[in-house]
Amino acid sequence: MSRNLTFQVPWLPEHTDFTRRYFLGYFTISLSAVTAFMAAWGIGRFALYSSGGVRSREVPPDVLSKLQPDAPLHVPEAGAWIVRRQTDGSLTALDDRCTHLGCRQKWNPAGQLFECPCHGSEFDIEGNVKRGPAARSLPRLYITTDKDEKLHLSEKPPQGTPSS
């Protein structure tokens, strides 16, 4: 006993019956279109990802008193890690975003590494890649001070300073 379910659908021409085969075809095409749209949106979002471009970041002066030698200090307001080197007392500032997909990395004092919690990239205290998937080192930030003793961090060298 074969039973063919057919009925009229208002948006279809009169001679078309809405059968199971037609429904499955329509459903498959619709599902494919939604999947293609979602994939295009995700790829476009990934391709156009930006870590914020060039921005100037202010660090309050009390941060300097909190720095311990060779122990990075995270300054979330500035989006940076600041390190005072024990060997010569110099300051280094690194962007706190992983170069793979922009996750904020965390400092692991036991391993002396910055670790990305998203995909497992690891960076040494200088910002160099120790383990991927990140392919680029952490961006170094230029440090300047103003007359109010505030530290300023930026991705580009200050004007009038030769870039290295």
Tens digits of residue pLDDT in 128-142:
999 888 888 888 888
Domain count, the chain: 2
Residue 98 vs residue 19, higher pLDDT: 98
Phi, psi dihedral angles at 79 (to 5 degrees): 65, 45
Residue 16: pLDDT band with limits 50, 70, 90: low
Residue 164 vs residue 71, higher pLDDT: 71
Q: Which two tokens stand for residue 59?
A: 């660090």
160 domain residue, yes or no: no
Q: What is the pLDDT of residue 91?
A: 84
Same domain, 61 and 78: yes
Same domain, 69 and 149: yes
**Structural domain of residue 16, as residue ranges?**
1-49
67 close to 73: Cβ distance less than 8 angstroms: yes
Report, as an integer, the average pLDDT of 56-84.
82
Same domain, 32 and 62: no
Q: Which two tokens stand for residue 18?
A: 């809405």
**pTM, rounded to two decimals:** 0.60
134 close to 120: Cβ distance less than 8 angstroms: no
Query: pLDDT exceeding 90 applies to what percent of the chain?
Result: 11
Same domain, 67 and 142: yes
Q: What is the pLDDT of residue 37?
A: 93
Same domain, 29 and 83: no
- Which CATH number does the domain housing residue 91 bear? 2.102.10.10
Per DSSP, helices labelled H in 3-155 are 20-47, 62-66
- Measure the CA dihedral 149/153/157/161, to 10°: 10
- Does the pLDDT value for residue 46 go beyond 90? no
Which residues lie across from 123 on neighbouring strands? 114, 129
Residue 5: pLDDT band with limits 50, 70, 90: low
6 close to 17: Cβ distance less than 8 angstroms: yes
